[in-house]
Amino acid sequence: MTSLPLSPAIVTDMVGSLFIIIFSFLSLRYAWLLTRKQPENFLWGFLFYFCMTLAAFAISRAIGHLLKHILLFSDKQELWQTISPISGGTNTLLMISLAAVTIYYHKGIEGYQAINKKARSLKEAYDQLEVAADQLQGMNLHLEEMVVERTSELSASEKKFRNLFNNSKDMVYFSDSTNQLLTINGAGFEMLGYPVQGAPALNLFDIFKNETDLDSYYETLLSQGFVEDLEVEFARADGTGIHVLLSATAVYDDKGLFIGCEGIVKDLTRIKTMMKQLAASEKMASVGQMAAGVAHEINTPLGVILGYSQLMMDDFAPESEQGQNLAIIERQTKACRKIVADLLKFSRQSENAREDIAINEILLDVIAVTQHSLNMDHINVRQDFAQELPLIVGDTERLRQVFVNLVNNAHHAMEKQGSGDLTMITRYDPDTHTVVATVQDTGHGIPDKIKARIFDPFFTTKSVGKGTGLGLSVSYGIIQDHGGQIEVESPVINRQSGEKMPGAAFHVKIPVMLVEAASVHE
């Protein structure tokens, strides 16, 4: 049997061992470069350690093979037999290490992925914390500006509410669950007649005139949660009553429990007065129409009676009984005709002249006519006339009759006192473009209960035989016919001090714009 040469195999084995060393170190170097580029990458770290183990195994195996061939060619087989177990054991150990690294590769990858997932989660949390930190830092930097801006908004809102609360002409109040008034504005104190400073603690029980109205208000508030346009009567500090319109809303806490209410109260006194005046005007208009018809019907038979009585007086001597009886008939018939004439004037059925009038001149004429009788009862006449008053247009005689009636009424109110002051005042009101003439006395005044009736026909407080009750009614009609109005004030308020004075004042207001109308007609 021909033997084959071993040299090619040996050379191949030795060259292969060298190439294993070269390639393993090239792999090790490439893995090292990857770990330097991405140190945090677990895969490159694992590959680097794998290449290190592979390089160690390649060196151990190559050195063992090379040493084997060298010793065998040198006839040192005994030395190789000694080294061979060590080389084989080292190769086996390195092979086992390489296998262990390969086996635990998958576990390492799973661990890496878990760690990587946790790291991403932590990074996301860190990013969110960083964003939150930036927001907190921004809020911290602008916190003062935000607080100032919010404070400014709250201050403006509070100022608007405070202005509305303080400047409201209606009463605004807040009360608790026991109807105790916690807060009330200045208009409310003024409406109730209490001073703003030092006012006593008030309860709705104190200011409701009728307890039944308070019970109805409270029950409605609890059942519906609000009260709308409730018309009730309030009691003022001086005991007088005022009519008001009340609206309120219940206030509840977080648990839905009733803790109080907030309300607005509007004074209806002026509206009530205007309604009474309107009703009185309508009543006077209807009575005037009736009076005109009655006056015309009565005037004819009175004229017949007067004519026949005067004819019969020519047949009897004035001293005779028949003559005296006829004189009485004539006198009483004339008195009846005067009453009829007053009725006709009241109903404005008679004709009247229109001319330019200076109101001061009319008042001076009235004073000249009435001053003697006033002085007899020790009544002083005072004049406070404004100079250069605008002219008015009207009937001089009828206006003179108005002021004579007013002066006579003032005289009657003071004659039982034995003395008094009668003041006549004129002024111009630029706001209403009217000339205002006032007749003011210091008499007993006019009670509130009859103040709304003094202009009614045939209403009088004088004793029988001293008045027909038509004086103020006729005066009212004359002034209305001139486009003006008469207002009564009792007691009289001093315009300088604001104090109440005894007596009554009648303010006659006649518009001056009628002058322009007269000029146009001319």
Residue-level pLDDT at 426: 94
Report the amino acid identity of residue 390: P
Residue-level pLDDT at 123: 83
What residue segments make up the domains of the chain, in order of their start? 7-103, 168-267, 273-346, 355-521
Q: State whether CATH 3.30.565.10 applies to domain 355-521.
A: yes
DSSP-based three-state secondary structure for 108: helix
Residue-level pLDDT at 424: 92
Please provide the average confidence, as pLDDT, over all residues in the chain.
78
Here the tokens at position 275 are 């309604």
Overall average pLDDT of the 391-403 stretch = 86
Contacts with 497 (C-beta within 8 Å, 6 or more apart), sequence order? none
Partners of 505 in beta bridges: 440, 489
Q: What is the CA radius of gyration of the chain?
A: 60
Residue 91: C-alpha distances to residues 15, 64, 153, 158 (Å): 18, 9, 85, 92
Asked whether 426 and 385 are in contact (CB, 8 A), the reply is yes
Overall average pLDDT of the 191-203 stretch = 80
Phi and psi torsions of 169, nearest 5°: -80, -10
Residue-level pLDDT at 469: 55
pTM of the predicted model, to two decimals?
0.39
Max avg pLDDT among 267-276, 310-319, 375-384 = 375-384
Band of residue 345 on the pLDDT scale cut at 50, 70, 90: low
Band of residue 516 on the pLDDT scale cut at 50, 70, 90: very low
Max avg pLDDT among 23-27, 161-165, 197-201, 458-462 = 23-27
The better pLDDT of the pair 100, 211 is held by 211
Overall average pLDDT of the 512-518 stretch = 50
pLDDT at 62 over 70: yes
Write down the CATH superfamily of domain 168-267: PAS domain (3.30.450.20)
Contacts with 417 (C-beta within 8 Å, 6 or more apart), sequence order? 442, 443, 444
Q: Lowest mean pLDDT: which of 56-60, 73-77, 219-223, 312-316?
A: 73-77
pLDDT at 14 over 60: yes
107-133 in b/e burial notation, b at 16+ Cβ within 10 A? Answer: eeeeebeeeeeeeeeeeeeeeeeeeee
Residue-level pLDDT at 522: 40
Here the tokens at position 439 are 């007749």
DSSP-based three-state secondary structure for 248: strand
Overall average pLDDT of the 454-473 stretch = 60
Site of tokens 């008469």 = 486
346-378 in b/e burial notation, b at 16+ Cβ within 10 A? Answer: bbbeeeeeeeebebbebbeebbeebeeebeeee
DSSP string, 394-413: E-HHHHHHHHHHHHHHHHHH
Residue-level pLDDT at 347: 55
Residue-level pLDDT at 402: 87
Report the amino acid identity of residue 120: R
Distance CA(440)–CA(410), nearest Å, equals 7
Residue-level pLDDT at 470: 65
Residue-level pLDDT at 464: 43
Classify the phi-psi angles of 146: left when phi > 0, otherwise alpha if psi is within -120 to 50, otherwise beta.
alpha
